[in-house]
Copies of this chain bind each other. A is one copy, B any other.
């Protein structure tokens, strides 16, 4: 099934078009996210002042939002950036980090999901399960479980919201309402490094930014699957040279930097289900 996704073509597009990706991420991980975007050839802008986020968002190729280090200012910034993006046809990727851990975080996530037109909702299985009401549980920012019926709930959400849903875990799921893609790459060390989930969210934004004007849901899902698989294959390659979670982040960026479509295709584990 891998033949359906031309990983090299996606990588080439990102490197050639150098999409501007506007990211609103917590300060814990924002530097790491910017580095990941630079490593694939994209151009990060991490503006977060309410006074300028709308201007930045309208000029971006994608807007990527994360609850990471949520506070009143970042929430206002995410709403303003997301609404400006929606009005300008710029795709929005939303990552409800740690949703369900506190009431404040739950309300913020619900508000963003209600008020924004999302191209992609991306979280770990616990976060997505929580957002979709299947009983996801999180502990801190780690998923415990996504609950039963996660794939069906993802498809229902995708259809009713006309949005792709991504739930990452040992197997990553991408749902577009018609198909579910199951992606099997990655390495457990990703969970021992702060910000890898946010890096992935930003890269999904970069891939969607080069998917062409007003891409159909299936095309957005393919972009997300290509980004996820590329990122996870880079993680596998990095794991071969890293000694642990300390040396891993640098090795991951190095691997993203000289990743080739061939290298991704050779390792890619993609299963596409018509549901």
Contact = CB atoms under 8 A, between A and B. Distances in A.
A261 to B, nearest CB: 17
B44 A70 contact: no
A171 interface: no
Contacts of A145: none
Interface in A21-64: 26-32, 34-35, 38-39, 43-52, 55-56, 59
A57 B160 CA distance: 37
Given A27-B30, A28-B27, A72 B49 contact: yes
A112 interface: no
A265 interface: no
Contacts of A257: 192, 244-246
A57 B52 CA distance: 28
A140 interface: yes
Contact of A28 (B30, B43, B56, B250): B30
Given A246-B35, A247-B254, A101 B29 contact: no
A1 interface: no
Interface stretch (A102-110, A119-127, A206-214): A102-110
Contact of A20 (B35, B45, B139): B139
Interface string A190-206: 01111100000000000
B246 A39 contact: yes
Contacts of A187: none
A39 B104 contact: no
Contacts of A104: 49, 51-52, 55
B258 A251 contact: no
A84 to B, nearest CB: 12
B35 A245 contact: yes
Nearest to A71: B49
Interface in A96-145: 98, 101-105, 139-142
Given A20-B139, A28-B27, A253-B245, A52 B34 contact: no
A69 interface: yes
B194 A35 contact: yes
A250 B253 CA distance: 13
Contact of A253 (B26, B38, B244, B255): B244
A266 interface: no
A102 B55 contact: yes
3 closest A-B pairs by CB? A246-B253, A27-B27, A244-B254
